[in-house]
Amino acid sequence: MRFRASGLFLLFLVLLSPGRLFAETDHKIYFADTDYELHVFEIKGEYPGNTMLIIGGMHNEPGGYLSADLYADFSLHQGNLIVVPRANFPVIISNNRKIHSDMNRKFVNGTHRKSSHEYEESVVEILKQLMARSDVLLNLHDGSGYYRPTYESRMKNPLRWGQCIITDTDTFVTPGGRTLALGERVQRILSIINPDIRNGEHRFHYNNTRTFDNDSPHKEQRGSATYYALTEYGIEAYGIETSKEIRSLDLKVRYQSMIINAFMKDFGILPNNPKVQIQKPQLQYLLISVNGAFPYGVPNRKTLFVNPGDTIRIEHIAANYERGLVADILGLGSLNDLNKKFSVSQPTTILVKKDRFECGKIFLAMKSPPVKSSLSTAAAMEPQKSSLPPEKGVLEFLILVNNDLKKIPSGGTLVIDPEDTLVIQDIRPRPADPNKVKVNFVGFVGNKRFNDAEDRGYRIHPQDLWKRHSKNREGNLYRIEANRGETLIGEVNVRIETLGKTP
Ligand SMILES: [Zn+2]
């Protein structure tokens, strides 16, 4: 899912709030809809502090990009994060180290740089701009073997990269005269994380590539992101490498996150746990299988047409939440009808909720007219002549009273007990576009946030009705209207009176 508008929304929040009251995330997308689409998440804490730039995915190294990705969802108490989970999306999806050239060798300036209009250069230019606004850079990778300061074996030696924290130099003096004690900070981080790593082989080491030195074993690092950040912007920059020999992705990401967390704490960047972000629940679609066939995806507020007697099963609810979702087929089953089979013979509505909040509905309609309902409605109905010409208006209203379907002709009156509950299911004939007609229980507000005069699908209790909107203002006679635009196309009365019920 995309949140192109989230920046705007958050700007709105900022304008509303005096000072910074909320932790905020601004999500920007560069090169949208290209293969190298670049997503940047800027997370501002409630209190100001250092800004850490976390870059993953310059290479096809999942320990790097999967770890960075987790931090895009952080909320911060203090300090700021700029997270680029997938700097080089083409290498990730194609699983190649490079497309045109190695992105982590493209951080060069001026005369060294031969412009070739490769996408890697465009991405690198954005990353440079992000460095300019940061206090520290973490560049996340997976490397081969295990780095060791002295030769132990073919896979464990000074030229391997796995399980190390990399600097380009032990200390660096910025043009402004500040001394950056990179090596000292790495040693402090190692002393915090290594005691928690049970497998001795996986403990991390400090790898100073001495990138400036003429006898550096890694002169190629002069084109790297860390070297550029350090020399051009005077900010601390570290490479973090988990080992490609560690097969468990979980374990690699765990190691990366231990190190990122330790760096964040060392720089005074403090998270809020858990991140609080309550979005309005919104149904996208339901997957509904009919008679056991491959399921249809039915978008919110659309209609699925079935034959009377067909068996349906709601297989999946797609919404902006994954937990707390239920689908309730009105008149059938129980509160949650997900993954259950039902034979349907009447039009009905599937109400989708997240916890107690309605987040969407799907209409079920019949392809051919249903067989006449055997349910008795006479006792609770006083048929009257419709005052509207039937060919233009609504013939009847389908209303569930305590799960019994009642068909009330337009102009008629439904009598219910104060204890009853009522759900307006639909009108007949069905309009070609169900959304063009609104069915309004005058005196009931279905959507509390926005009264859209559309009350189909809600459970209506007489005690929730607004007495002053009743027809006689005494709270015992109401009306349900069907309107196409401004035109009334049908109405029924609802009278509430205590009915002598047989037990
Ligand atoms: Zn790498």
pLDDT digits (tens, 9 = 90+) for 117-153: 899 999 999 999 999 999 999 999 999 999 999 999 9
- Work out the average pLDDT over 478-484: 90
Distance 59 CA to ligand 1 centre (A): 5
Distance 102 CA to ligand 1 centre (A): 9
Distance 104 CA to ligand 1 centre (A): 8
Nearest CA to 346 among 371, 317, 327, 328? 371
Residue 263 has pLDDT above 90, yes or no: yes
Query: What CA–CA distance (Å, rounded) separates 390 from 58?
Result: 67
Distance 141 CA to ligand 1 centre (A): 4
What lies within 8 Å, CB to CB, of 403 at 6+ separation is: 331
pLDDT score, position 500? 63
Residue in this structure with the two tokens 């060791």, named with its chain if needed:
148
pLDDT score, position 114? 61
Give kind and range of the element (H or E) at residue 364.
Answer: strand 357-366
Distance 148 CA to ligand 1 centre (A): 18
Question: The pTM is what?
Answer: 0.68
Q: For residue 386, what are the CA distances in angstroms to 23, 429, 445?
A: 58, 15, 26
pLDDT score, position 8? 41
Distance 32 CA to ligand 1 centre (A): 24
Distance 58 CA to ligand 1 centre (A): 7
Distance 89 CA to ligand 1 centre (A): 13
Residue 18 has pLDDT above 60, yes or no: no
Distance 23 CA to ligand 1 centre (A): 31
Reported as a pLDDT band with limits 50, 70 and 90, residue 113 is low
- pLDDT (tens digit per residue) in 42-89: 999 999 999 999 999 999 999 999 999 999 999 999 999 999 999 999
Distance 160 CA to ligand 1 centre (A): 12
Residue 228 has pLDDT above 50, yes or no: yes
Q: For residue 356, what are the CA distances in angstroms to 18, 175, 274, 324, 327?
A: 32, 59, 22, 9, 12
- pLDDT (tens digit per residue) in 309-355: 999 999 999 999 999 999 999 999 999 999 999 999 999 999 999 99
Query: What CA–CA distance (Å, rounded) separates 228 from 375?
Result: 78
Please report the domains of the chain, with CATH numbers, ordered by start residue: 6-272 (3.40.630.10), 283-366 (2.60.40), 378-496 (no CATH)
Distance 112 CA to ligand 1 centre (A): 22
Distance 383 CA to ligand 1 centre (A): 78
Distance 364 CA to ligand 1 centre (A): 53
Distance 157 CA to ligand 1 centre (A): 18
Distance 144 CA to ligand 1 centre (A): 9
Distance 459 CA to ligand 1 centre (A): 57
Residue in this structure with the two tokens 């915090």, named with its chain if needed:
192
- Count CB atoms within 10 A of the CB of residue 404: 14
Lowest mean pLDDT across 31-35, 193-197, 373-377, 381-385: 381-385
pLDDT score, position 371? 47
pLDDT score, position 378? 38
- Work out the average pLDDT over 99-112: 85
Distance 103 CA to ligand 1 centre (A): 9
pLDDT score, position 446? 76
